[in-house]
A and B are shown apart, each in its own frame.
Chain A
Amino acid sequence: VSETALPHLPLLGSLVAPGGLQRGTVVGIGGRAGIASLTLSLLAETLGQGCWGAVVSWPELGAEAALELGVPLDHLALIPEPGPKWLDVVGALVDSVDLVVLRPSGRVNVSVARRIAARARERGCVVVVTLFGSTQWPESFDARFVATSTNWVGLGRGFGTVRQRFLDVEVDGRRVPNKRRTQLVLPPTAGDAAQVPAAAVSESDDGDGFAITA
């Protein structure tokens, strides 16, 4: 396990920078849809290599979906209801695991955000902040993933079931040299990273003509 970068599949980490997701950074995940799927994919990429993760104040997170995406559940601690000491909880986790997922609600205080970032930097932990609904993070992120549109495959009008989804994602942030856009397929087709099959792009019925940069 690298000292400076978290292990990763060539997918999400490499979107940030060629070397992958750097330790000690704060990453945001937001958008209209796909926050949970993106977060789980990031966890799967990281924890698969023997790292440990934790998810704080997110009781809705689907463990089975996590497992299907490749998250080793025995290396993922869940603290669904941290209570009033949540900041202490995050602090203790940043000290001891490699990746902490946080689901704040509402607006987070600037000094709190700075303390978390400083601690993460000091301990070499990646903090992932999910930005659901009205959640706002007062600091700029080292890297930010925002899903801009989504399209499901497999379900019809009265037949089939949800199989895969195409997710258009924008990546930016202080440590991302160039803002990028890409399209992901989740869950990835078996044996494949979340590469986009060429045919799938035309199937997308609200393709904004994003260039595929992955």
Chain B
Amino acid sequence: MMAMASRSQRETRLVVGWCPNWPAQVFAHESEPVAVLEKGRVIAATASARESGVASRQRKREAEHHCPNLVVCDRDVALEARRFDPIVAAVTMLTPLVEVTRPGMFTFDVRGPARYFGGEEALLDRLRGVLTPTLMGKIHIGIADGRFAASLAARRDAIVPKGKSREFLSPFPVSMLGDEELTNLLVRLGLYTLGDFARLPADAVRTRFGPFGEQSHRQARGLDESALHAKPPGIDLVTRAEFDPTVDRIDQAAFIGRGIANDLIEMLGREGLDCTRLIIEAETKHAEKLSRCWRAEDRFSVATIVERLRWQLEGWLSGSAPEATPTAGIEWIRLVADEVVPSRARQLGLFGERSDADERAIRGLDRLRGLLGPDAVFIAFMRGGRGPSDRVQLVPWGEPIPSSRIEGPWPGRHPRPSPALIYPRPHPAVVRGEDGETLRVLADGRFSGTPATLSINGASALRIDKWSAPWLLDEQFWDVDAHRRRARCQLLLEDRRALLAFVEGGNWFVEAEYD
């Protein structure tokens, strides 16, 4: 049987640091009330403004009516990013991989640093220690399993114990999921809290609310929505640009950055992937290096990559942290797709345009899973490997298809076309040479004689008409352990069947048929 997908979904334990009202906070001096507008509406306000009655979505005049001495500013995301960078730089002293979720919010994996500093409480003390001098406003910090729970834990300055995310989330209103349409629907159904929503069976949610509802349902249950998004091993999704001469102007760097951002997006497209977390690295001629990790609001595009690059370089070059301001021009920049997900274009029928046929098939297969259980209906996908059965993975229907499509060189992989029938268990066989002796593969990789007959499972022997030269599965096996050496070959029998066979430790097996 083909290998089953391993479904170890360890929830990632995360720290989230959150500066409330960050878009307004960056304009604030002292206790002056500030509101920030985007498209003519208030999107953020400082605490003092909110106390006077300023609220999100108000128009400028309405906000000023509530708070006559209000300072009204247009949103400046670049400024938000620049002002946030010293905070990120400070956290980087504790752990190298801090992700800027958005300006005003950072996230990192708690496990490594907590072990290093002696527990989560100790880590939080350290974190508050490094943050104090750089902070303009108050920062809230939370720890929980999963990204969604951790971001809500930050609002409460809470450490949610391991495995308790679902309980913690339960009393929050469904509007916290941030999906207006879904919220309205749930409220109409009488489901007001995340706990109410979490109690719905997952199958029903998928059928009724589609994949986005399913993802929100996972969030409500305290499951990490990005648990399967690990970077596939073996693929380097990196682009790099060298500057000669070096550049010290952001527009120059951004111009060339756009080129390699484009290359990265194209590279991802070829692999059928989208990038959700990006690392941008830059180094000056004096080997001063700045690396930042950015999370996409949705999925990165060329434009959003270039925007992040600008933010990062502006913060650095503008000298917002004098001791870290570079002393020379930038020599190179590098973009690394650090976390990827299967591209929406590839998840046919599951995102975007869904045809009637897709709807009908998805509903039917969901029903079938209900009838047979979770491990009976599968979708196959290709991954790396050498043997015909290694290369296919079956993913239970309804679970995300992993993004790892590992293109090796895979020396020793069987040649194309692939066999159309793969036996769940290889059949023991006997292959004899013209001299009547069992055929062997010699240390130099040749057969010990001329192949003559094959007998499968003790059945009567059939003449071998044609055969390929043997190919070795893995040369290391030949050197290290004589009993585990394995060689494959193709055999064409007198009855016109073409088979894929292998020999290991002197024993022959037939594993597949070309049919």
Interface residues of A (CB under 8 A from B): 1, 32-37, 40, 50-52, 54, 59-68, 72-83, 85, 88-89, 92-93, 95-98, 149-152, 155-165, 187
Contact = CB atoms under 8 A, between A and B. Distances in A.
Contacts of B346: 74
A64 B372 CA distance: 25
Contacts of A95: 364
B514 A81 contact: no
Q: Is the interface on chain B under 10, 10 to 19, 20 to 34, or 35 or more residues?
A: 35 or more
B421 A62 contact: yes
A35 B1 contact: no
B378 A85 contact: no
13 contacts: A32-B496, A34-B515, A62-B392, A65-B418, A79-B368, A89-B372, A97-B361, A97-B365, A98-B357, A155-B466, A159-B468, A159-B469, A162-B415
A89 B368 contact: yes
Contact of B357 (A1, A35, A37, A163): A1
A85 B370 CA distance: 13
Contacts of B469: 158-159
Contacts of A92: 364, 367-368, 371
Contact of A161 (B2, B349, B421, B468): B468
- Tell me which of B371, B416, B423, B515 has the highest count of chain A C-beta atoms within 10 A of its own C-beta: B515
Given A150-B496, A152-B492, A155-B468, A62 B361 contact: no
Contact of B468 (A98, A160, A165): A160
B420 A65 contact: yes
The 9 closest A-B pairs by CB, nearest first: A96-B364, A36-B420, A63-B380, A52-B361, A64-B418, A36-B515, A65-B418, A65-B420, A161-B415
A98 to B, nearest CB: 7
A164 B415 CA distance: 12
Contact of A155 (B397, B490, B495): B490
Contacts of A61: 420-422
A74 B364 contact: no
- Tell me which of B380, B391, B423 has the highest count of chain A C-beta atoms within 10 A of its own C-beta: B380
Given A161-B415, A163-B417, A156 B422 contact: no
Nearest to A49: B357
A62 B348 CA distance: 22
A79 B357 contact: no
Interface string B496-507: 111000000000
Contacts of B394: 78, 80
Contacts of B422: 60-62
Interface of B: 1-2, 346-349, 355, 357-358, 360-361, 363-365, 367-368, 371-372, 376-382, 388, 391-392, 394, 397, 401, 415-424, 447, 450, 465-469, 490, 492, 495-498, 512-515
A155 to B, nearest CB: 5
B379 A73 contact: yes
A96 B1 CA distance: 26
Given A65-B419, A76-B379, A157-B466, 9 more contacts: A32-B496, A35-B515, A59-B2, A61-B420, A68-B418, A73-B379, A75-B348, A83-B372, A162-B492
Contact of B376 (A32, A65, A72, A81): A81
Contacts of A165: 498, 514
A59 B492 CA distance: 23
Nearest to A164: B417
A60 B510 CA distance: 13
Contact of A77 (B377, B418, B421, B465): B377
A79 B382 contact: no
B381 A33 contact: no
Nearest to B515: A36
A78 to B, nearest CB: 5
Contacts of B419: 62, 65
- Tell me which of A34, A62, A93, A96 has the highest count of chain B C-beta atoms within 10 A of its own C-beta: A62
